[in-house]
């Protein structure tokens, strides 16, 4: 599919999302939030659900958590328009409550189709509900900063997923902000690894990626946590309290 074709297909899904009445969340929304970003990217960030600011503007991650996400991207030399940003549910749960399983299920076809169109090499999960979509059974306290293969049923074939806390968690537990930056530093290496595994698993040898963010010069920096990326196994990290119980958006 061409870049223009991907953009048109994503636009069609966005229009469907804005008109969607599949679950109860549509009744209380000001705007649905389909997602936004580059149709050429190799990296998709998937959050949990829109908050108040996102509901008002119809765009993902435009509040305080969005500002921190922009900082996290800048820390690895990327910008928002280098990636695609979306959520597990496209409408705001009332009172910022957790999304219900049937609400997640109602939105799942939209997310799956977005991923099928984008065909990302890397999915970055933000928060525990996104984590459960791509790493079923994992807990954010132990899975953050780690990489696992993505189930092709999600729509992201031959992709890897890297787990991060939701940026909003850093406003509830300030110590998690440093953790977020540390885990975000793994993103370029995870993308490189996914490119390599996709090239090995597909018949075509990819000498130069056709689309996606330019890899920062720091990718080969030995300070990057390559060990955690390389073995594709979760590494437990002790954190204060129980972040799994945080309401992260």
Q: What percentage of the chain has pLDDT greater than the value 90?
A: 78
* Of the candidates 90, 120, 79, 106, the residue with the CA atom closest to the CA atom of residue 209: 120
* Of the candidates 248, 241, 249, 247, the residue with the CA atom closest to the CA atom of residue 141: 241
- Tokens describing residue 67: 């500002």
The dihedral over CA atoms of 167, 19, 98, 185, expressed in degrees to the nearest 10, equals -20
Q: What percentage of the chain has pLDDT greater than the value 70?
A: 81
Inter-residue contact 162 to 199 (CB < 8 Å): no
Is residue 86 scored above 80 in pLDDT?
yes
Residue 214: CA count within 13 A, CB half-sphere? 5
Whole-number Cα distances in Å, 207 to 117, 195, 200, 202: 22, 10, 12, 13
Strand partners, 45: 85, 124
**Where residue 224 falls among pLDDT bands split at 50, 70, 90?**
very low
CA-to-CA distance for 246 and 248, rounded, in angstroms? 6
Tens-digit pLDDT profile for residues 106-117: 999 999 999 999
DSSP string, 100-113: PHHHHHHHHHHHHH
Inter-residue contact 14 to 58 (CB < 8 Å): no
pLDDT of residue 117: 98
CA-to-CA distance for 164 and 126, rounded, in angstroms? 5
Inter-residue contact 223 to 195 (CB < 8 Å): no
Is residue 8 scored above 60 in pLDDT?
yes
What's the mean pLDDT in 209-215? 50
pLDDT of residue 1: 87
Is residue 137 scored above 90 in pLDDT?
yes
User: Given the structure tokens 């998690």, which residue do they identify?
Assistant: 176
Is residue 135 scored above 50 in pLDDT?
yes
CA dihedral sign of residues 134, 135, 140, 145: negative
Tens-digit pLDDT profile for residues 140-177: 999 999 999 998 899 999 999 999 999 999 999 999 99
| Strand, helix or coil for residue 147 | strand
Other CB atoms within a 10 A radius of the CB of residue 153 amount to 9
Residue 65: CA count within 13 A, CB half-sphere? 26
Is residue 215 scored above 70 in pLDDT?
no
Strand ranges of the sheet holding 84-87, from the earlier edge strand across to the other edge: 36-37, 84-87, 43-47, 122-126, 160-164, 147-149
Q: Domains, the chain, ranges and CATH?
A: 3-245 (3.40.470.10)
pTM of the predicted structure, to 2 decimals = 0.82
Inter-residue contact 99 to 93 (CB < 8 Å): yes
> Which of 59-68, 123-132, 135-144, 224-233 has the lowest average pLDDT?
224-233
**Where residue 213 falls among pLDDT bands split at 50, 70, 90?**
low
Is residue 123 scored above 50 in pLDDT?
yes
Looking at every residue in the chain, the average pLDDT score rounds to 86
**Where residue 200 falls among pLDDT bands split at 50, 70, 90?**
confident
What's the mean pLDDT in 8-13? 99
pLDDT of residue 89: 99
**Where residue 232 falls among pLDDT bands split at 50, 70, 90?**
very low
Q: How far apart are the two ends of the chain, measured CA to CA in Å?
A: 34
pLDDT of residue 151: 86
């Amino acid at each position: 599919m061409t870049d223009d074709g991907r953009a048109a297909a994503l636009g069609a899904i966005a229009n469907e999302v804005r008109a969607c009445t599949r679950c109860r969340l549509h009744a209380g929304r000001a705007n649905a939030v389909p997602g936004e970003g580059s149709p050429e990217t190799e990296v998709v960030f998937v959050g949990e659900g829109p908050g108040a600011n996102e509901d008002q503007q119809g765009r993902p991650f435009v509040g305080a958590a969005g500002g921190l996400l922009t900082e996290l991207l800048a820390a690895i030399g990327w910008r928002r328009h280098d990636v695609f940003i979306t959520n597990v549910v496209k409408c705001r749960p009332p009172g910022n409550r957790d999304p219900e399983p049937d609400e997640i299920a109602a939105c799942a076809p939209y997310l799956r189709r977005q991923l099928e169109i984008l065909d990302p090499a890397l999915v970055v999960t933000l928060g525990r509900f996104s984590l459960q979509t791509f790493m079923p059974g994992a807990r954010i306290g132990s899975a953050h900063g780690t990489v696992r293969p993505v189930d092709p049923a999600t729509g992201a074939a031959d992709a890897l997923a890297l787990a991060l806390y939701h940026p909003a968690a850093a406003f509830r537990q300030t110590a998690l902000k440093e953790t977020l930056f540390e885990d975000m530093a793994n993103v370029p290496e995870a993308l490189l690894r996914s490119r390599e595994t996709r090239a090995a698993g597909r018949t075509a040898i990819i000498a130069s990626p056709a689309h996606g963010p330019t890899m920062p010069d720091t990718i080969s920096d030995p300070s990057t946590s390559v060990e955690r990326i390389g073995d594709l196994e979760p590494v437990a990290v002790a954190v204060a309290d129980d972040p799994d119980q945080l309401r992260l958006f």
